[in-house]
């Protein structure tokens, strides 16, 4: 029995352990200042907020595992939010289809990203940056000609805010469902193996008859869909969609993925790690704002904590012959 526990502990990533340890330490440290931090209500609320970041980080993880990056996240999130609320303004049918419509829009941007990166071979960093500008341009045009409806539909409110089962936020259930799907995709399907293979060596994957372009395209499409879905959830959470609502999420999403032990060069990383990264990032910013450190100090502590955590386990290999 002990041996089995030890064996399963060994299988867990060092990154997951350190990130979870940091979360516990943050909570313990914060509880000294504000005992309410350990209440179930606060924890559930943090997990609810973390769900939005978690859904975004899911798509980003797939792309980073390939060795690429998706910088179009901020404005695809905004597209998700604004398209869902606009759809909610089109009568009963639009209101019912608000979330699927938003996801479809994000999927479209993701497919364009995938075509640019996989087929045109433009470095993902610059192509997704350009798509981010285009997404921003589309939304500016969308809102400045006329005033589209910007209030969330009842369904979006239900999904993002309410707690229907066991008092656990619906957003958290959704994140758990997304997590289950992603873990299955990455560890139990041939597609998942191909993602890791491409991340380790695109060339070797190509020579093994992996459809490299197709896999890259699908991952970018999923990333766009996830970001837009998270945008629709956010709009439901704050009851409104607004310009630049996705801007504060790019850096936390990248940070969460990397703190979860995923190599930014691709090929290495787990979804469990990303989940613990998302939770530690959410707790860090929440606790820093609770202990009322001014914004300047918060930014500095945020940066230092990330570097220190990465120094513990994220160091690269030394160059050697």
Site membership for another protein, residue 292 (CB under 8 A): no
**Binders in 53-72 for another protein, by CB under 8 A:** 69, 71
The residue from 93, 166, 190, 311 that contacts another protein (CB under 8 A) is 311
**Binders in 65-124 for another protein, by CB under 8 A:** 69, 71, 116, 120-123
Site membership for another protein, residue 304 (CB under 8 A): yes
Give 91 or 145: the residue with its C-beta nearer to another protein.
145
**Is 183 exposed, middle or buried, given 0-12, 13-18 or 19+ CB atoms closer than 10 A?**
middle
The residue from 247, 268, 286, 291 that contacts another protein (CB under 8 A) is 247
Choices 85-93, 223-231, 259-267, 274-282 (CB under 8 A): range interacting with another protein: 259-267
Beta bridge partners of 168: 165
The residue from 200, 238, 263, 286 that contacts another protein (CB under 8 A) is 263
> In Å, how far from its chain's centre is CA 65?
13
Least distance in angstroms from the C-beta of 102 to another protein: 20
User: Going residue by residue from 121 to 150, which x/- string records binding to another protein, judged by CB under 8 A?
Assistant: xxx-xxx-xxxxxxxxxx-xx--xx-----
Choices 11-19, 101-109, 221-229, 299-307 (CB under 8 A): range interacting with another protein: 299-307
Give 184 or 299: the residue with its C-beta nearer to another protein.
299
**Binders in 5-64 for another protein, by CB under 8 A:** none
Give 163 or 247: the residue with its C-beta nearer to another protein.
247
Six token digits for residue 307: 């570097």
Footprint of another protein on this chain (CB under 8 A)? 69, 71, 116, 120-123, 125-127, 129-138, 140-141, 144-145, 202-203, 205-207, 212, 247, 251, 254-255, 258, 263-265, 294-304, 306-307, 310-311, 314-321
């Amino acid at each position: 029995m002990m041996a089995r526990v030890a064996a399963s502990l060994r299988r867990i990533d060092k990154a997951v352990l350190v990130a979870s340890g940091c979360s516990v330490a943050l909570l313990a440290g914060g509880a000294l200042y504000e005992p309410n931090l350990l209440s179930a209500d606060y924890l559930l609320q943090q997990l609810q907020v973390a769900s939005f970041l978690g859904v975004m980080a899911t798509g980003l993880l797939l792309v980073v595992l390939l060795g690429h990056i998706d910088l179009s996240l901020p404005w695809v999130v905004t597209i998700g939010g604004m398209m869902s609320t606009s759809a909610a303004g089109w009568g009963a049918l639009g209101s019912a289809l608000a979330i699927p419509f938003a996801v479809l829009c994000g999927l479209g941007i993701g497919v364009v990203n995938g075509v640019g990166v996989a087929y045109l071979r433009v470095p993902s960093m610059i192509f997704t940056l350009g798509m981010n500008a285009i997404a921003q341009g589309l939304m500016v045009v969308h809102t400045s000609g006329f005033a589209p409806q910007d209030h969330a539909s009842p369904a979006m409110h239900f999904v993002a805010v309410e707690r229907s089962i066991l008092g656990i936020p619906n957003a958290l259930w959704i994140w758990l469902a997304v997590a289950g799907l992603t873990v299955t995709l990455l560890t139990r399907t041939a597609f998942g193996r191909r993602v890791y293979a491409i991340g380790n060596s695109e060339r070797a994957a190509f020579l093994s008859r992996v459809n490299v372009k197709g896999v890259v395209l699908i991952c970018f499409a999923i990333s766009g869909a996830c970001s837009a879905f998270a945008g629709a959830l956010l709009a439901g959470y704050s009851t409104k969609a607004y310009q630049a609502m996705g801007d504060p999420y790019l850096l936390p999403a990248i940070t969460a993925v990397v703190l979860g032990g995923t190599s930014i060069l691709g090929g290495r990383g787990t979804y469990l790690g990303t989940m613990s990264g998302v939770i530690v990032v959410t707790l860090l910013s929440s606790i820093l704002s609770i202990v009322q450190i001014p914004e300047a100090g918060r930014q500095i502590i945020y940066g230092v904590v990330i570097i220190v955590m990465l120094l513990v386990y994220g160091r690269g290999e030394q160059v050697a012959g």
